Amino acid sequence: MIRVMLSEFIKIKRKLILFLIILGPLGVIGLQAANFGLRYDWLTSQYKEDLWRGLIGEVTMLSVPTILIGLTILTSMIANIEHQTNAWKQLVALPVSKMKIFAGKALLSFILLFVSCLLLFFGTIILGLSLRFGTAIPLFYLLKMCFFPFLAAMPFLALQTWLAISMKNQAIPLTTGILGTIVSLYGTGFPDWMPLKWPWLVNEWDEPVYSVLFGVATGLVLYLLSLIDFSRRDVK
């Protein structure tokens, strides 16, 4: 797997994928910087009891759809490296199991999205300090709001990885992901069993960790099913 992952990182070295990982959190922080810059007095009066939590809440409102659309584009770009060069048959002919090939693609997407969430974490801190919100940063709460939506979105990562790898025409995976992102904007009004609600960390128990557990468990099931399907599929 180490060799597989090294190969995957080499493939994306000169691609726009790495730029996308930076662009996502940079866009979220940039938009919130503009938001607070234009409405500073009003927003600070609304969140005067806890400016940091107010800022983190505003960042989360943008980061959730950004994660969903980001993983859609990311998985498509990673899979399309092989689709564009018709290299899937050569890839599976190597002395590496199909399961490791699929796992490498999925793990690469996970790692890159994790890095993106990490950049969002540090970007939020920099923005809050720039806005002079003080140094009493709720780090644990910030970590939760940066990484919990990402973990709760694991079913979508597994699904989009499978769609992107299985289909040479990337229009279907991209359309599916974009529509899912749009529908997720209304996710807080869905029943708790709906996966589109989980990245928003809202449930009847008022415990974000439950949304994460549902997301991770469902994501693992979908990942295993996708792994089995790819290992049995005839690659053209």
- pLDDT single digits (tens) 112-152: 999 999 999 999 999 999 999 988 999 999 999 999 999 99
SS3 track for 28-46? HHHHHHHHHHHCHHHHHHH
d(CA 17, CA 76): 10
Distances (CA, A) of 172 to 167, 194, 221, 231: 8, 22, 22, 21
Quick one: 211 exposed, middle or buried, by C-beta within 10 A (0-12, 13-18, 19+)? buried
> Average per-residue pLDDT in the chain?
90
Distances (CA, A) of 162 to 154, 158, 213, 235: 12, 6, 21, 13
- pLDDT single digits (tens) 54-110: 999 999 999 999 999 999 999 999 988 888 777 777 777 777 788 888 899 999 999
Q: What is the mean pLDDT of residues 206-220?
A: 95
What per-residue confidence (pLDDT) applies to 169? 87
Give me the half-sphere count of Cα atoms (radius 13 Å) on the Cβ side of residue 73: 17
pTM (2 decimals)?
0.92
Which residue reads 């796992």 in tokens? 103
What distance, in Å, lies between the first and last C-alpha atoms of the chain? Answer: 23
Which residue reads 């025409």 in tokens? 169
- pLDDT single digits (tens) 161-170: 999 998 888 8
Closest CA to 56 of 131, 153, 154, 161: 131
Q: Where are the domains of the chain?
A: 2-232
List helix spans (H) across 86-190. 88-92, 98-130, 139-152, 154-166, 171-184
What per-residue confidence (pLDDT) applies to 235? 64
